[in-house]
Amino acid sequence: MTRHVQFRLVDAFADGVFRGNPAGVVLDADGLSDEQMQAIAGEVHASETAFIEGGNDLHRPLHLRWFTPTVEVGFCGHATLAAAHAWSEIAGLRSILARSDAALTFETAAGLLTLRPEPLPKPAEVPLWWLDMPDPQLKRDNTNPIKLRELLGLAGDDLEPAAPIMRTRDDDLIVLIRSWRTLMELRPDLRELARLSERFRIRGVCVATLDTLNDFTNVASRFFAPACGVDEDPVTGSIHGPLAVMLVVTELIPLASGSAALHCVQGIPGGRTGMVRALVKQTPQGYRVSIAGCCHTTIRGEIRVPQHDG
Residues with a known catalytic role: 48
The one-character DSSP state at 256 is B
Given a contact cutoff of 8 angstroms between Cβ atoms, the answer to whether 250 and 210 are in contact is no
Task: Please give the Cα distance from 130 to 158 (Å, whole number).
Answer: 33
What does the DSSP assignment read for 207-243?
EEES--SSTT--EEEEEEEGGGTEEEES--HHHHHHH
Neighbours of 256 (CB within 10 A): 8
The one-character DSSP state at 70 is S
If DSSP codes are grouped into helix, strand and coil, which group holds residue 167? Answer: strand
* Nearest CA-CA partner of 78 in 39, 102, 50: 50
Task: Please give the Cα distance from 293 to 100 (Å, whole number).
Answer: 19
Given a contact cutoff of 8 angstroms between Cβ atoms, the answer to whether 143 and 202 are in contact is yes
If DSSP codes are grouped into helix, strand and coil, which group holds residue 151? Answer: helix
Region of residue 68 (left: phi > 0; alpha: psi -120 to 50; beta: else): beta
**Ramachandran angles phi, psi of 70, nearest 5°:** -125, -25
What's the maximum distance between 2 C-alpha atoms anywhere in the chain? 61
How many CA within 13 A on the CB side of residue 222?
22
How many degrees, rounded to 5, is the angle at CA 30 between CA 204 and CA 306?
75
* Nearest CA-CA partner of 242 in 188, 153, 168: 168
